[in-house]
Amino acid sequence: MFLFPAEETADLWFAALTREPDPAYWVFAWREGGWKLVAGALPLDGEAPDAAPTGIGPAETAAVQATLVPQSHLSYLTDPAGLTGISFPSGDPVRDLRDELRDRPARVRPDRLTADVDLSADEPARTLALADGGALVFHTVEITFRQRPRSGAKTPAHPIYGKRDLRAFTGTAKPSRITGTELLILATRVAVDGSLSTVASRRVVTDVTTG
């Protein structure tokens, strides 16, 4: 099934929803004279929401909230105390990620671990209208982990990546420091009332260095 945005923009793109072998979204954008896959596969977590007919946009509240989705995720993930008022349902991957960012440094002690969360500068957020008046937003969050061994140690005691990934990216299974970049690619549903939930997601490690 092919899904198209309600309005044409300078960023020409469309999404595809495949059912077999596993339901997933794929996002394509026009790049250098051809269609390029820019996000996918994004496996669904449950049922895919019904898209609105081509040319029909989301309801006003959902349309406004859709423009704020990337910043809402950034605010949520960098607020472990939950003071922003932004929420996600129990079991949502974004909620699980915030818990991980909060708890992971304690799990790798005596190593020192920090995490920076930002919005991807490579791909813009892209919005589809849904049949119920809501919106579906495809966007990407970038996470940078920096792991250092305890004072006096040569290598981290509890590397956050396995030996296979470390060798593949850095050439050694025991680097003195680890800096890892990960992308969390999301399809976020915005309900008519403005509430957020994750429909599909994919998390990938894009780079690991010893710096």
pLDDT per residue as tens digits for the range 2-27: 999 977 777 899 999 998 888 999 99
pLDDT score of 187 more than 90: yes
Model confidence pLDDT, tens digit, residues 102-148: 999 999 999 999 999 999 888 899 999 999 999 999 999 999 999 99
- C-alpha dihedral (200, 12, 64, 184), degrees to nearest 10: 30
Of 202, 186, 203, 204, whose CA–CA distance to 88 is shortest?
A: 186
Give the model's pLDDT for residue 185.
Answer: 97
Find residue 148's DSSP bridge partners: 112
